[in-house]
Every structure is written in structure tokens, then in C-alpha cells.
Amino acid sequence: MDKEKLKSIFWDYDIEYSADDIYDFIVGKKQAKEFNRNRLIARALTSIRWYDLVDIFGIKQLYEFLNDDVLKFIWRKSVKERYKNVREVLQGVL
């Protein structure tokens, strides 16, 4: 699992977080008042390749991330629709 790729979602922040901290923020093990968890998940979905996300989080966790509260933060309609389709496919598999 290469959590280091999670650092790429913080390219525009002047805050240093470890890859483990970012992972913990995203999965809800840790809180950071300066971040919205759903926005971080959406950022990860749009910034990191799908197969890397599967490697980092696992397919069940990614399915849980694909809810409407997260998807509303994805501004590109085509990307949002793609993730809605992925959610439907995973719903039939899991």
C-alpha cells in the first residue's frame, strides 16, 4: 500500500502532514478542523488513479466513499457520473 500518493492531494496547502495522517483523516480515524473529510475524499478521487486508490483503501472502503455527500464536491460532471456508475457496479458486486 503506497499511502505516499495521498500527499499529492495537499499540493496547494502550506501544511505538512504525513501520508499516515492524511490516510487517517480520510478514513475518519483522525479529525482536522481545517479539513472537510468529504472534500478530502473527493480530492483523492479526482487526483489519484483508481487502481492506486484501490491499493490504498480497498474496494469496500472506496464503495463507502462513493456517496452523494462526497460526489457533490466533484465539479466535473463527467467524473461525477463515472463515479456514480462505479458505485452502481460495486453495489451489485459487494
Please give the residue range of the domain that contains residue 20: 3-93
Angle at 72 between CA 67 and CA 73, to 5 degrees: 110
Residue 67, helix vs strand vs coil = coil
Number of domains in the chain: 1
The per-residue pLDDT for 88 is 95
pTM over 0.75: yes
Alpha-helical regions (H) of the chain: 19-27, 37-47, 50-57, 59-65, 68-71, 77-93
pLDDT tens per residue, range 48-75? 999 999 999 999 999 999 999 999 999 9
